[in-house]
Amino acid sequence: MSHSIKDVALRAGCSIATVSRVLAGKGYISDEARQKVEAAVKELGYRPNRVARSLRAQRSRVIGLVLSDICNPFFSEISRAVERVAVRHGYTVLICNTDEDPKREEHFLKLLEEEKVAGILLSPTRASAKSLDSSILPPLVLFDRKVAGKHLDSVVIDNEEAALKLTRHLLAGKHQKIAGIFGAKSYTASARIKGFQAAFIGAETRMAGIYQVPAFEAEGARIMAEILTNEPLVDAVVCSSALLATGAYTTLRQKGPHLLEAGGFVCFDDPSWASFVEPSVSVIRQPATTLGEAAADLLMKRIVDPTRSVSEIVLRGDLIERGK
């Protein structure tokens, strides 16, 4: 068993209040007491118990990060940024994978409340409105996605604009029929679909189907194969995330290289290979690190001042034009 503040007090020959004050560095302390306490702390290798601290303070130095898939490079980049900012402010990060499942999301939000975390960063699933008002939650900042009808701190990317930009870029080529592959269930996907559709207004190129599948590589590969057989006239594809794009690209390499050679493939998220395949593929690069940092910063501010006015930050994706 490790030592408690009592042991330190005993050793330093003072009361636990004095020890606590020395540790916290506030209140009046004589030099003599300070030195004795510091010596005792060192000798015993005393480390304060954060659980006790949290209980007393009614708030811990932990923040919760609730996201749908830490293996998605977009989210892992965000996690990294969040962790950095948190550590800089003396917080640690509790990570929760929802897999886009509202049940799991609700479970985690409750859990985090029970853990008395100082704040929560959440990229909500479609159906999360309910879980949000059902209980008294700690300070909360949304990232990547918003919740309809809720006025909350948030940091998102203008997905509609980005998808519009990306699709228009494709439209500038001479493709006849463009299909779109998007993630299922997410706010993000809907926004991108809107932008995708908007790009066709007044354009000659015809839009083919809009496909929504769970955001995994295998799903991207599967749906791409399906499109290739069901809609043989499709000669261009917009892909809504690195994971889906990687899967779709693999399929295209095998079963639709003509499409790739004609530059008919673009996607979100700048996967590493996009720059070195031939021809290289144009992408929307999402500022994931900036997003993660902004969201974490916002949360820190919200924790310090719960009454501050709501911030809704919108970032823009960058179109990186490639294609040989």
Partner DNA sequence: ACCCAGTGTGTAAACGTTTACACATTTTGA
Partner DNA sequence: TCAAAATGTGTAAACGTTTACACACTGGGT
Is residue 30 near a copy of itself by the rule CB under 8 A? no
In contact, 219 and 244? CB cutoff 8 Å: yes
Contact 101, 125 (CB under 8 A): yes
69, 100, 219, 293: which one contacts a copy of itself (CB under 8 A)? Answer: 69
Rounded CA-CA distance 276/62 in Å is: 40
Alpha-carbon distance of 275 to 249, in angstroms, equals 13
| Residue closer to DNA, measured from CB, 29 or 207 | 29
**List 10, 16, 111, 127, residue binding DNA (CB under 7 A):** 16
**Dihedral pair phi/psi, residue 130, rounded to 5°:** -60, -55
Phi first, then psi: what are they for 279, rounded to 5°? Answer: -75, 155
253 binds a copy of itself (CB under 8 A): yes
Give the shortest CB-28-to-DNA separation in angstroms: 4
User: Is 17 among the residues that bind DNA (CB under 7 A)?
Assistant: yes
Report the nearest approach of DNA to the CB of residue 89 (Å): 17
The number of helices, as runs of H, and strands, as runs of E, in the chain is: 13, 12
DSSP 229: H
- Is 84 an interacting residue with respect to a copy of itself (CB under 8 A)? yes
H-only helix segments in the chain: 5-12, 16-24, 31-44, 50-57, 73-88, 102-114, 129-134, 159-171, 187-198, 217-230, 242-255, 257-261, 288-304
Please report whether residue 167 would count as binding a copy of itself according to CB under 8 A: no
> For DNA, which residue of 10, 11, 28, 259 counts as binding (CB under 7 A)?
28
Q: Angle of helix 242-255 relative to helix 217-230, nearest 10 degrees? A: 40
What is the rounded distance in angstroms from the CA atom of residue 155 to the CA atom of residue 144?
6
CA distance 310 to 300: 13
Least separation in angstroms between residue 300's CB and DNA is 19
Name which of 153, 86, 141, 157 is nearest 312 in CA terms: 153
How far apart CA 236 and CA 207 sit, in angstroms, is 10
Which partner from the list a copy of itself, DNA, none does 73 bind, CB cut-off 5 to 8 Å by kind?
a copy of itself
Contact string 55-74 vs DNA (x = CB under 7 A): xxxx----------------
Asked whether position 24 contacts a copy of itself by CB under 8 A, the answer is no
The one segment of 27-35, 52-60, 182-190, 205-213 that binds a copy of itself by CB under 8 A: 52-60
Pick what 4 binds: DNA, a copy of itself, none; C-beta below 5 to 8 Å, kind-dependent.
DNA
Residue 293 is a binding residue for a copy of itself (CB under 8 A): no
Q: Which one of residues 10, 44, 70, 313 is an interface residue with a copy of itself (CB under 8 A)?
A: 70
Shorter beta-carbon distance to DNA: residue 56 or 324? 56
Q: Which is nearer to a copy of itself, 84 or 185 (CB)?
A: 84
Min dist. Cβ of residue 13 to DNA (A): 7
Q: Using the rule CB under 8 A, which residue among 30, 35, 135, 230 binds a copy of itself?
A: 135
Binding interface with DNA (CB under 7 A) = 1, 4-6, 13-18, 20-21, 23-24, 27-30, 32-33, 46-49, 52-53, 55-58
